[in-house]
């Protein structure tokens, strides 16, 4: 439920966190009874708890299709990510993966922990895939084919230029955006979005993850994973791994800010995409991750901790995003607030300060021009809390009563 210190500092996180906890329990109770579907939704909770929550926004038919789409691509990504698998073994699997999803007997042992379970028991995913309607199957097959070929291309190719970076992100995430747009269209509730906008939805999320996960990727065993383009990091250090060395802290932060500035290029497209959505459930499904991404970039910008450990939004703020994102006014408001936070961190001596400010000003203008900023109350830029320590203690008493009623054996667990 979040640390005591965080709740003392942000007591208004309590209720959204409680709702999130209850939603997670409810989602686990809704796992289907059929063995293959039960495996798929149980695995979804294990490989991405946040996605498993967000997917609950969708109607059952579309939720099933998106679940299988996610697991197929997660399995494909597991093959790509496993640095212990030789390239001559990995490449043919990536290229042929779109065929394997039709094979109820196919599996390939790779990955670790829950990802290894997914790969070892992939026949459950294939069985569920084969029960989807033809339109969903065709969309998933098409994206798997294109993504597998793109991943195979970059197994033997370094990310040298910004164009390479955009191409790689297109294959591993932009195509996810295209695929989701196809699934929404097949479901019948949305027009087929322009590919450029769908691509930007994926690129914005992927670039945010690549920035945030620098240390995890560079420390990967047995071989580092390097996704930051040399065209950017080469301006600051001789080797990408040099960014984590303390003596390069100034250069590392400048490089980080350069990467964040590059990611901001996609925001306007993302806002256009979301503003065109009609189905409220699909809107929330798409909007929540995008707000999380701009929030993460605001946290990462000018932050040396990206090169020292894990940087992510506090759970209470995440819970608020999930709870309070219901309309485009909420999206514009969140993007406006996080952009203001980011803008306040831009130093005049940063080599990319002018470019960063220009892109932030463009985002802020788009949000202001929407005319809806006054229709929501900001939960991101917080005023001084009126809560007293007594109220905080009361909240914890309520939580304790709730947990005891939920599980009488809770104190002993």
Question: How many C-beta neighbours within 10 Å does residue 390 have?
Answer: 8
Neighbour-count burial of 113, counting CB atoms closer than 10 A to its CB (0-12 exposed, 13-18 middle, 19+ buried): exposed
Q: Which of 63, 74, 212, 359 is catalytic?
A: 212
Does the annotation mark 402 as catalytic? no
Helices H / strands E in the chain, number of each: 21, 0
The answer to whether 14 touches 395, Cβ cutoff 8 Å, is: yes
Does the annotation mark 212 as catalytic? yes
The answer to whether 306 touches 300, Cβ cutoff 8 Å, is: yes
Q: Which of 104, 225, 230, 315 is catalytic?
A: 225
Does the annotation mark 99 as catalytic? no
Give CA–CA dist 393/26, Å, rounded.
27
Q: CB under 8 Å to 43, separation ≥6 — which residues?
A: 71, 114, 117, 118
The answer to whether 302 touches 256, Cβ cutoff 8 Å, is: yes
Tokens coding 60: 């059952």
Q: Which of 108, 273, 285, 336 is catalytic?
A: 285
Give CA–CA dist 371/275, Å, rounded.
13
Q: Which of 14, 39, 136, 168 is catalytic?
A: 168
Q: Where are the beta strands (DSSP E) in 216-348?
A: none
Q: Which of 32, 39, 52 is nearest to 126 (CA)?
A: 39
Neighbour-count burial of 78, counting CB atoms closer than 10 A to its CB (0-12 exposed, 13-18 middle, 19+ buried): buried
The answer to whether 97 touches 148, Cβ cutoff 8 Å, is: yes
The answer to whether 293 touches 204, Cβ cutoff 8 Å, is: yes
Q: CB under 8 Å to 340, separation ≥6 — which residues?
A: 364, 381
Give CA–CA dist 284/56, Å, rounded.
10
Q: Please state whether the peptide bond connecting residue 222 to the residue before it is cis, i.e. omega within 30 degrees of 0.
A: yes
Tokens coding 165: 């970076």
Does the annotation mark 168 as catalytic? yes
Catalytic sites, residue numbers: 168, 212, 225, 285
């Amino acid at each position: 439920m979040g640390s005591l210190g965080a709740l003392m500092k942000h007591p208004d996180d309590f209720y959204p966190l409680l709702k999130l906890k209850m939603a997670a329990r409810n989602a686990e109770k809704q796992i289907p009874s059929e063995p293959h579907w039960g495996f798929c939704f149980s695995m979804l909770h294990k490989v991405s708890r946040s996605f498993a929550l967000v997917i609950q926004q969708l109607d059952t038919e579309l939720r099933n299709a998106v679940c299988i789409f996610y697991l197929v691509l997660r399995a494909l990504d597991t093959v790509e990510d496993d640095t212990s698998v030789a390239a001559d073994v990995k490449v043919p699997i990536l290229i042929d993966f779109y065929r394997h999803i039709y094979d109820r007997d196919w599996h390939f042992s790779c990955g670790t922990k829950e990802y290894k379970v997914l790969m070892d028991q992939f026949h459950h995913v294939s069985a569920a895939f084969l029960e989807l309607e033809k339109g969903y199957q065709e969309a998933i097959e098409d994206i798997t084919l294109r993504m597998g070929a793109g991943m195979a291309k970059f197994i033997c190719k370094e990310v040298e230029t910004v164009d390479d970076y955009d191409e790689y992100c297109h294959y591993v995430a932009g195509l996810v955006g295209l695929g989701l747009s196809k699934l929404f269209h097949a479901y019948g509730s949305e027009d087929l979005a322009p590919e450029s906008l769908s691509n930007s939805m994926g690129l914005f999320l992927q670039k945010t993850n690549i920035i945030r996960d620098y240390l995890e990727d560079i420390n990967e065993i047995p071989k580092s994973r390097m996704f930051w383009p040399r065209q950017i990091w080469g301006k600051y250090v001789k080797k990408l791994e040099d960014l984590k060395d303390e003596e390069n802290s100034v250069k590392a932060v400048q490089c980080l800010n350069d990467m964040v500035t590059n990611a901001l290029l996609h925001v306007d497209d993302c806002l256009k995409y979301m503003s065109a959505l009609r189905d409220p459930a699909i809107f929330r499904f798409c909007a929540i991750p995008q707000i999380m991404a701009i929030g993460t970039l605001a946290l990462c910008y000018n932050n040396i901790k990206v090169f020292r450990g894990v940087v992510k939004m506090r759970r209470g703020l995440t819970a608020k995003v999930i709870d309070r994102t219901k309309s485009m006014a909420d999206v514009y408001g969140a993007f406006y607030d996080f952009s203001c936070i980011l803008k306040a961190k831009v130093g005049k001596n940063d080599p990319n300060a002018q470019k960063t400010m220009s892109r932030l000003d463009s985002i802020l203008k788009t949000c202001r021009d929407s005319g809806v900023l006054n229709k929501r109350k900001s939960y991101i830029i917080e005023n001084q809390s009126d809560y007293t320590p007594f109220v905080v203690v009361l909240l914890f008493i309520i939580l304790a009563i709730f947990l005891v009623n939920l599980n009488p054996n809770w104190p002993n667990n």
